[in-house]
Amino acid sequence: MNQYIVVHMNSCKYKILCGTSGALVALFFLQSTVASEFERVNRYSLHELTAESNQVDLLSTVIETRFPPFVETVGTAIDYVLHRSGYRHVTTENFESTLELPLPESHRSIGPVDVRTAVRTIVGQTWKLYEDAGKRILWFQKAGLDSEQVIQPPVDASETKVQSNSKDSNIFESDVAPTSWHLQSSLTLRENLENWAQLSDWSLDWRSRHDYAITHPSTFSGTLVDAVGSLLMHYRNAPVPLVGKFFSGNSVLVIEPSNSP
């Protein structure tokens, strides 16, 4: 009976017949050049010590999804597909109307496909998918547009109101020392505000399923209330305008869509 050496490499299994010159060459090569990348399972089997492809490229994970009844729109379908993928969707200008479109019946069951293909299928061919593996975010823009153009939030010179709980209006007084607040382009709007809140011993309660990428760093001065108010002013005409509400009783900053009740 023939005996084989079994080598698992690149998600494939290779069988090499023992007693041949090829087997000797293969064993010498594996032991002398890539021994650190393999683990011997038994006398005749080696396993490659590398991560699976879907662990490196998270969006390449293959899924098969049948959406539950509460998933009725393109936006909720995207959120459902990305759940536990490690990625989240960042809203971009002019894409809000697409998120509110009803989910086609033909899309209620998708797969088996990878996460990237599933999201592209849900959105349609009009939009092009962009992703940032470092921040693990993805967004869409019209095909043919510059990617930097679409993630830059719209700017409006009019004032955006930052609200407070009527019982906690004292947070607007000067007992909070003015400081500088840095908006980092390497973080999203939500991540920046989380950092700001932590610097002031506050916590952030983000109640919007939309987030925005930051394309240009900037600095704001004043109290936390001043800085948040100035920052949110730039999102007054965004696809989903945001408003900040401060509750000093438990030191919570709530960020939610401006049309929330």
In a domain, 18, yes or no: yes
For the stretch 133-166, pLDDT in tens is 888 888 888 876 554 444 443 333 333 445 544 4
Contact between 211 and 88 (Cβ < 8 Å): yes
Q: Are residues 43 and 83 in the same domain?
A: no
How does pLDDT run across 34-84, given as a tens digit for each residue?
445 767 777 767 666 666 666 778 898 999 999 988 888 898 899 889 888
Percent of the chain with pLDDT over 70: 66
- Domain assignment present for residue 233? The answer is yes
Q: Which domain holds residue 233?
A: 163-257
Checking 168-171 for CB contacts under 8 A at 24+ apart, the result is 168/246, 168/247, 168/248, 168/249, 170/248, 171/225, 171/246, 171/248
The pTM score is 0.46
Please compute, for residue 194, the number of CA atoms within 13 A of its CA located in the half-sphere on the CB side: 9
Domain presence at residue 89: yes
pLDDT at residue number 9: 54
The answer to whether residue 107 scores a pLDDT higher than 70 is: yes
Same domain, 137 and 178: no
Q: What are phi and psi of 89, to 5 degrees?
A: -90, 135
Our count of domains for the chain comes to 3
- Residue 158 lies inside a defined structural domain of this protein: no
Task: Give residue-wise pLDDT tens across range 161-219.
Answer: 455 444 443 444 334 444 678 888 888 999 999 999 988 889 999 988 888 888 788 88
Q: What is the largest CA-CA distance in the chain?
A: 88
Determine, yes or no, domain membership for 62: yes
Same domain, 78 and 137: yes
pLDDT digits (tens, 9 = 90+) for 71-94: 888 988 998 898 888 888 887 667
Residues 248 and 176 in one domain: yes
- Residue 120's pLDDT band (cuts 50, 70, 90): very high
Nearest-10 crossing angle of helices 224-233, 189-199: 170
Whether 66 is in a domain gets the answer: yes
